[in-house]
Amino acid sequence: MNAKPIVKWAGGKRQLIDKLIKHIPNNYNRYFEPFVGGGALLFELLPNYAVINDINKELLTIYRCLANKKYFKSMIEELNFHEGHHSEEYYYQVREEDRKPDFLITPIWQRAARVIYLNKSCFNGLYRVNSKGYFNVPSGKKSKVNTYDFDNISKLHRYFITADVTILEGDFTDAVENAAKGDFVYFDPPYDSFDDKDSFTAYSKHDFTKQDQIRLYNTYKKLSDKGIHVMLSNHNTQFINELYKDYNIQIVKAKRMINSDSKGRGNVEETIITNY
Ligand SMILES: C[S@@+](CC[C@H](N)C(=O)[O-])C[C@H]1O[C@@H](n2cnc3c(N)ncnc32)[C@H](O)[C@@H]1O
């Protein structure tokens, strides 16, 4: 009963799924995904016990609504409302909401529906914020917007209310604190940049730097030393190859789906790094 992501997310792994699946361990206890984003692998596997995490507050409102019957119903009503009112002007009104002082006390289902609606109607379908953390993608100028696939979103709602899924918000290090021997952790961080190209890191107002990639390597090693199965994906850069030289590095080709500069689209090499 696998499902698909609800939002298109920069660095989303939907198109790499077949390759990722080949590298997951045969057996594991709990599933951890500390950079969950659109959740392509989580929704393919639908594990019975999962701990998911992201630093992006707004994204997580969607998963929190999927995990609660009342919030879910209200989010769907709100999405229907957005679809019915969609226009260029309406898009910019909804986009402005995060600039308002009371935005963070807006009901969670309204914030979740806003993220989905903006994701489906904005240019290129991505979530990008400016240095203040405000969503700043222009309208995609669509005349009609479908915000959800009912079968898929219902499947995900069923998944979140029946499986044991913990939703955490914060830095990846805290999300794996309770991982233990026999668990499986999949890290899909913001990409390391190729020297000549900018990578997308505007998921939140915090950038993901080379220092963060090193911090992630240290976490990877610590988990690996504890007997946890660890898989990580990233660009095939020299820096990543040097950091993870003691582990198994597989190189795969992927289509770069989202880039603000259209010259940056095309095939890129990615790595899938496992400790098993
Ligand atoms: C490459 S995306 C993950 C894509 C996801 N695998 C998918 O299929 O859609 C990286 C994610 O890491 C999150 N992120 C950035 N810095 C983080 C941090 N320090 N801790 C946890 N999550 C972080 C971003 O908000 C983004 O959602």
Backbone angles phi, psi at 134, to 5 degrees: -95, 140
- Our mutation pick for probing the ligand 1 site, out of 8, 203, 214, 256, counting the most ligand atoms within 8 A of Cβ, is 203
C-alpha 70 to ligand 1 mean position (Å): 27
Identify whether residues 115 and 242 lie together within a single domain.
Answer: no
- Backbone φ and ψ for 137, nearest 5 degrees, come out as -85, 135
pLDDT score of 265: 59
* 242 found inside a domain: yes
Q: Report the CATH number at residue 138.
A: 1.10.1020.10
Contact 173, 32 (CB under 8 A): no
Q: Decide which of 124, 151, 178 is a domain's last residue.
A: 151
pLDDT (0 to 100) of residue 153: 98
Ligand 1 atom at minimum distance from 208 CA: 16
Rounded to two decimals, the pTM is 0.93
Number of domains, the chain: 2
Q: What is the pLDDT along the chain (276 residues), one digit of tens a residue?
A: 689 999 999 888 988 999 999 999 999 999 999 999 999 999 999 999 999 999 999 999 999 999 999 999 999 999 999 999 999 999 999 999 999 999 989 999 999 999 999 999 999 888 888 888 899 999 999 999 999 999 999 999 999 999 999 999 999 999 999 999 999 999 999 999 886 555 565 666 668 989 999 999 999 999 999 999 999 999 999 999 999 999 999 999 987 655 544 455 578 899 999 999
Residue 3: inside a domain, yes or no? no
Domain range holding 88? 63-151
Residue 266 falls inside a structural domain: yes
Angstrom distances, CA of residue 203 to CA of 23, 64, 235: 26, 19, 17
* Residue in 126, 117, 123 with CA at minimum distance from that of residue 84: 117
Separation of CA 37 and ligand 1 centre (Å): 5
Domain with residue 177: its CATH number is 3.40.50.150
Same domain flag for 87 and 105: yes
pLDDT at 200: 60
Q: What are the strands, taking DSSP E only, across the chain?
A: 31-33, 49-54, 164-169, 184-187, 229-235, 248-256, 266-274
Return the closest-CA partner of residue 219 out of 185, 270, 194.
185
| Ligand 1 pocket, mutate which of 2, 14, 35, 62 (most atoms under 8 A from CB) | 35
Pocket of ligand 1 (CB under 6 A): 5, 9, 11-13, 34-35, 37-40, 53-56, 171-172, 188-190, 203-204, 208
